[in-house]
Structure 1
Amino acid sequence: MSKNILITGCSSGLGLALTNYYLEQDYKVFGISRKNPNIKNSNFYFKEFDLSKLKEIKTSLTSFITQIENIEIVYLNAGTLGEIKEMTKLSYEEIKEVLDLNVFANKELLDILTTINVNNIIGISSGASKNGSKGWGAYSLSKSSLNMLINLYSKEMPNTKLLAVAPGVIETPMTDYIRFEVDDTIYTSAKILKSGDIQKPDIAAKRLNEVIKKIDNFESGSFIDVRDI
């Protein structure tokens, strides 16, 4: 019997790579995204939805998610970077916009997921959740909050393994913005990103699945960086 996977942000970048990877492994993939990736596969089930609409998440997505009686893996992947900007120039509204999608949308989804049988939940985090690099204020705040969100829900979902996982640097529109548009003389972290190793999304997807294979080695609620394992 095919196992079930739920992936948010499935239309591009890492989310699309994860979707294609698991479809190739004959999993049934349930995807949620603002845009339809137009995948022609009978094992792909898609729900078009903008997760920034926080107040509509439970009314719009509960039936789609709870119809999946048993989920092997959930990837809470949808997220946004926000603008690379100094904290003194970053408004409350700009920070909140990033927190809404990267944290509060996942809180709403986790509430739904507590009502069904889920074996593993992976919140896609970042090394930025631990490193306070100049310019990354909204993103770092959101990902450090996501780490704690995963930790807190692990205490309330004893039958599910929850991990916050940093997948490493991936070639996506998000990192393209940092590499090609951000002034690395002001934001030195951009210079490091430009000179470091960058994974293709399909490679990152396979590395995340390696985490799943070793998931019994990790304590539920913990943060993991794939570069450390």
Structure 2
Amino acid sequence: MKNILITGCSSGLGLALTNLYLEKGFKVYGISRTKPNIENKNFIFKEFDLSKLNEIKLGLKDFIKNDIKSIDTVFLNAGMLGEIKEVTKLATQEIKEVLDLNLFTNKELLDILASIKVSTIIGISSGAAIKGSKGWASYSLSKASLNMLLNLYAKEMLDTKLLAIAPGVIETPMTDYIRFDIDDEIFTSAKTLKNGPIQKSFEAANKLFETLKRKDEFESGSFIDVRKI
């Protein structure tokens, strides 16, 4: 039975991926602050607040290296949007909070993962990583940095395929905030989200699953937008 590791497994895409892989007979190890309502003998949950950067290696190293040991696929999914705000009004500390979770948390996890056998590591990225939109500064900076982080680790983790994948727009509390609470006359990207296609979490999870069947087509360290392949 192959092992899957998913961060941010309690809601949204992370929860959908967890349910999908369990349905397909994988053993899933999940990490998040709250336990999802899943009763399955093949689901092993680790409660951990990934925003606590300085505690990640101490709190998760044994779990990953000794409890899991060998992993088929890792989904570095945990993340946050941050406030949609003009960059001139955005404090450095606000940017740092998003970078800590979306970038540096994954750096700490990658350091652990580099010491065990892992076939594939997927960083959940975004089209915002390559397209700068007004109001998205914290998120865009963090996802662009995540793309490069995975690219750099790919140069050292030669036996692992690392990919940054943008799954497309998903109906979540994060996108609901953008679509319904943001003034789309000031932040025009909100208007695009309101009028554009949006998918359910389970649909995005299935697309990711299908995309990974083609992983050998892509160079390790690449960025992939599922809407463009």
Query: TM-score over 0.5 for the alignment?
Result: yes
Q: Distance in 1 between matches of 2:31 and 2:128?
A: 25
Q: 1:129 corresponds to which residue?
A: 129
1:38 Cα deviation (Å)? 2.6
Q: Distance in 2 between matches of 1:228 and 1:34?
A: 33
| Equivalent residues, number | 228
Percent sequence identity is 71
Q: Equivalences for 1:20-39 in 2 at 5 Å? A: 20-39=19-38
1:70 Cα deviation (Å)? 1.6
1:81 Cα deviation (Å)? 0.1
1:192 Cα deviation (Å)? 0.2
Q: 1:73 corresponds to which residue?
A: 73
Q: Which consecutive unaligned segments of at least 5 residues does structure 1 have?
A: none
Q: Distance in 1 between matches of 2:96 and 2:69?
A: 33
Q: Distance in 2 between matches of 1:106 and 1:180?
A: 30
Q: Equivalences for 1:206-225 in 2 at 5 Å? A: 206-225=206-225
1:210 Cα deviation (Å)? 1.1
Q: Distance in 2 between matches of 1:34 and 1:195?
A: 33
Deviation string for 1:101-149 (max 9, x for gaps)?
0000000000000010000000000000001100000000000000000
Q: Secondary structure at the match of 1:32?
A: strand
Q: Distance in 1 between matches of 2:69 and 2:31?
A: 17
CA RMSD of aligned residues (A): 0.5
Q: Distance in 2 between matches of 1:63 and 1:205?
A: 28
Letter paired with 2:103: V
1:7 aligns with 2:6: yes
Q: Distance in 1 between matches of 2:2 and 2:55?
A: 28
Structure 1 outlier segments of 4+, above 2 Å:
none
Q: 2:163 corresponds to which residue?
A: 163
1:69 Cα deviation (Å)? 2.2
Q: Equivalences for 1:145-160 in 2 at 5 Å? A: 145-160=145-160
Q: 1:43 corresponds to which residue?
A: 42
1:54 aligns with 2:53: yes
Q: 1:97 corresponds to which residue?
A: 97
Q: Distance in 2 between matches of 1:49 and 1:211?
A: 29
TM score, norm. by length of structure 2: 0.99
Q: Secondary structure at the match of 2:68?
A: coil
